Chains A and B, each alone.
Chain A
């Protein structure tokens, strides 16, 4: 029942928020819902619930990990939203909060659904619930952003639907008792699925969900959208939406692994990964806008995720861990950048200077985020990136490992150059002092603490979950 609550609480909260006119009330509503959701997730960790709706909805290791990321990041975003909505009132008005909550519900549905059709529905719902959030400014630029976003991800989602159909087709050969498109059964009868349809399904799901993840060359909507959306929304997209999309790919990959078809999938994953890294590196160098910079960094990390999946072995473990770290780091970065944008009114590198004198806290968070996002020790992302590199070498891709390392250095150079340029120096013009507000700082600070903790200490339950997830992906835990 709890798992259903995880989906329904945000959904009803969304309706309630839309119903209510008082904006302060809506904000409180948002925070309460987020807290309740997080609490429920905690309960799920404490006592693993039974599957419901005939096994369509359940919390397995991978799903639970992603769900926790979703819930935690959303909670931070909600707290941030309190401060944010005091400064800016999006033209979307009531829609803003309720879309946020709807997005949470949809994301929870994605993480909890064991039925790939339902998962697809949830994915579609996330796409649509985010759209108004991007368009909140209702000017030409945000309009263009949302148009591109909707067009591309709708085509992607359509291809994904085709992939789901193929998967169902592949199940024709399965024994009669098998529940169609339900993950456990797919995995169980993996050996009896029609390989050709299974591979076709993977190809289309990869293209479809890859578009939503933002794997190059399917990434083209990402910089525009992240650049235009409010930082808070950008954080949710970079942290939550991408993780959900990746989860979609992970699900079908599980089936392929069970069917022994991983060798078919892995070259594709590696190719996408490398291309994403190259594109990210190319566009990070000399990037003029901090938010677009973060978009390309996000593309880089999507690349790393599929790379880890492709290398297999300890890579699977590293990938699942990297999902968590990437989400935390991206959330941290976007919220910190949000403070900077609130204070300076721009996100252009050329126009911001001397942040550590003007906004010490946000500036510090920005640098911490930079380090966390570039996988510098002792942050959690270091552990996961290191593990992924290990798997690269272990699986005999030494040259590729060198290439990856080189690209990561290029990206570090590019990001570091821009971020440190705004960090150092003399703050030229006066910046709005109010930006250093507890509501605006609490979220990123907690996220920073979390991503730092994962670098030096991984709690036992999380460790077990990671190991289970890695095993489900045909990997091993280091």
Chain B
């Protein structure tokens, strides 16, 4: 743990460095960057040791705060999430040093860096804390760091609103966690996770209550439907590197919490698995559908986080069913898929947000309808973004495919498990639908943003961003490709984590997952073959063309002489037919004018449910105002009434 804590301290130091010498911004930027890189590297040492199969002994602090000792430790689960956090986090932080430097007119850059480092440090503590009070402390610290990182550009009303919605939502989640651990702790000797695990047997009926509270409390953070309402707002409002971490990493802590509670609670009843599976299907389908409806690049990406959380939950759910119906193979596959998708989503979602950041930096707009043809100005960004898109759609030979493939495996196996779990095979169809929709959505994004003709002058003028922006993104893209081409790099560790969660012995788990791991190598072969064949055909084609003429012309517009940029298919029109198929639940309203067609997307839960609720509460509170009417006699009357009521109580309940 020494390595780990020194890493955390380095991260904090990097935050401090950002604010310490405001006179020398350049220097502080450098120091901040290198300290955070060093911190991440240091903290990674024990992580890799654990993932390689080693162990790291935890530490206990006795603080006198009620709830027992403060324990910090790294087990495979923590290690895996630390990998997620540090991997995506350090790339984002490197990107951020560069990105924020150009944001000085919007907010305080040093403060932005400080809260970002705080956020990273809090994240690492969340997944290593092994008792309740430090866990909750780190949890809230993470939420606050996130908040202040999001509201960087706090002069804009929409940013402040998004921030407030996020803050209130996360605080509500935290209070649910209070109740969760309060309920659990009332049966436990102390509030260390070990103590809770020991008490899980004594929970009895309140076990389901604990599960429900965990699902809600952590769900708000994970942001699955319908608890996702804060997510698109906040992630769109934040600076791009913050969006990357929020969307790629922070929401994963919700998943971590669920997994942690699952490990402490022990074998779940079947209906928990079904609940999680159905929630997963719902938020995967709705998330991608709502993403299709967006024209704001970052908001669209944020909705895809809802979708991917859904995919992760599907893996969790089917895994839980495997445990519940005693099909260990199923359990291991499902959970391994979920765990692996957590990592993959962190990688490609951060990559995509960084790409979006580049576009924003180069053009100053996030509105798809105002972009286009960026491929000429920004070839590198385009390539990186394309990798990310293919990965998130789940296409081979990239990492997204590997984890979705595991989840598919689990769903199919459930199909012939000869247990009640077999119904979850329909999840495969849902996941396929999600894949298809995601393909459509990212075809839309890539096509409308990068391909075709520039729709505006800013898009035409866009030029490639500097290396500082590209290198972190490139690193993430490399990781996506690596996992896609050599899946067995991550299959083994993810199976180990799954083993920890399911309680299956590690060797057994590896044995059960053997076919999948072997298949991983075949996937590599397949990917290689695909690349080779395509390259071969490409070469043949080039060969054929060398002997003949290659002419350039305007696009064939079916006889129409001069097509203009405004005649291109827009994002709205591209998505219209699909959204038409799904009708009302897509939350889209189409605006047709003779000269233009556009669709407007609504955040259904927020705008149709929560905002009205807030209004109702406000109205109710206004109706209570007359209580504080200002007249002393009235106040005295309250006093008299209270005393009389008390006397009545005395007469009724008092002893004779």
Residues of A within 8 A of B (CB): 147-148, 151-152, 155-156, 159, 195-196, 199-200, 203-204, 206-207, 211, 217-218, 220-221, 223, 261, 264, 267-268, 279, 281-283, 285-286, 314, 317-318, 321, 371, 374, 376-378, 382-383, 385-387, 389-390, 392-394, 398, 401-402, 405, 408-410, 412-413, 416-417, 420-421, 424-426, 455-460, 462-463, 477-478
Interface residues of B in 626-656 (CB under 8 A from A): 627-628, 632, 634-636, 638-639, 641-643, 646-647, 649-650, 653-656
- CB distance B164 to A425 under 8 Å? no
- CB distance B65 to A458 under 8 Å? yes
- Nearest B-chain residue to A199, judged by Cβ: B654
Given A221-B635, A371-B144, check contact A478 B643 (CB 8 Å).
Answer: no
Bound form: Cα–Cα A458–B160 in Å: 36
- CB distance B182 to A401 under 8 Å? yes
Bound form: Cα–Cα A129–B322 in Å: 70
User: Among B136, B160, B636, which residue has its beta carbon within 8 angstroms of that of A425?
Assistant: B160
Interface residues of B in 124-163 (CB under 8 A from A): 133, 136-137, 139-141, 144, 151, 154-155, 160, 163
Bound form: Cα–Cα A203–B178 in Å: 32
Q: In the complex, which residues of chain B have a beta carbon less than 8 angstroms from the beta carbon of A206?
A: 646
- CB distance A152 to B635 under 8 Å? yes
Q: List 21 A-B contacts (CB under 8 A).
A: A152-B632, A152-B636, A159-B643, A196-B655, A199-B654, A200-B654, A204-B646, A206-B646, A220-B634, A264-B654, A285-B617, A285-B621, A378-B141, A390-B181, A393-B179, A394-B182, A402-B179, A417-B164, A421-B160, A424-B160, A457-B63
A-B contact count (CB 8 A): 179
Q: In the complex, which residues of chain A have a beta carbon less than 8 angstroms from the beta carbon of B641?
A: 217
- Nearest A-chain residue to B622, judged by Cβ: A286
- Nearest A-chain residue to B643, judged by Cβ: A207
- CB distance B65 to A217 under 8 Å? no
Interface size on B, residues (CB 8 A): 59
**Interface secondary structure of B, over-half rule:** helix
Among all A-B residue pairs, the 4 with the closest Cβ atoms: A378-B137, A458-B64, A394-B186, A377-B140
- B620 contacts chain A at the CB level, 8 A cutoff: yes
- CB distance A268 to B649 under 8 Å? yes
- Nearest A-chain residue to B629, judged by Cβ: A220
- CB distance A268 to B646 under 8 Å? yes
- Nearest B-chain residue to A462, judged by Cβ: B64
Q: In the complex, which residues of chain B have a beta carbon less than 8 angstroms from the beta carbon of A317?
A: 66
Q: In the complex, which residues of chain B have a beta carbon less than 8 angstroms from the beta carbon of A282?
A: 620-621, 624
- CB distance B186 to A393 under 8 Å? yes
**Nearest Cβ in chain B — how far from A308, in angstroms?**
13
- CB distance B628 to A283 under 8 Å? yes
Q: In the complex, which residues of chain B have a beta carbon less than 8 angstroms from the beta carbon of A457?
A: 63-65
- B167 contacts chain A at the CB level, 8 A cutoff: yes
- CB distance A211 to B65 under 8 Å? no
Bound form: Cα–Cα A393–B209 in Å: 12
Bound form: Cα–Cα A390–B639 in Å: 32
Bound form: Cα–Cα A126–B618 in Å: 37
- CB distance A424 to B154 under 8 Å? yes
Given A386-B136, A425-B160, A456-B137, check contact A392 B646 (CB 8 Å).
Answer: no
Given A196-B655, A264-B653, A425-B154, check contact A389 B179 (CB 8 Å).
Answer: yes
- Nearest B-chain residue to A416, judged by Cβ: B167
Q: In the complex, which residues of chain A have a beta carbon less than 8 angstroms from the beta carbon of B622?
A: 286
Interface string of B172-195 (1 = CB under 8 A from A): 101110110111011000000000
- CB distance A412 to B171 under 8 Å? yes
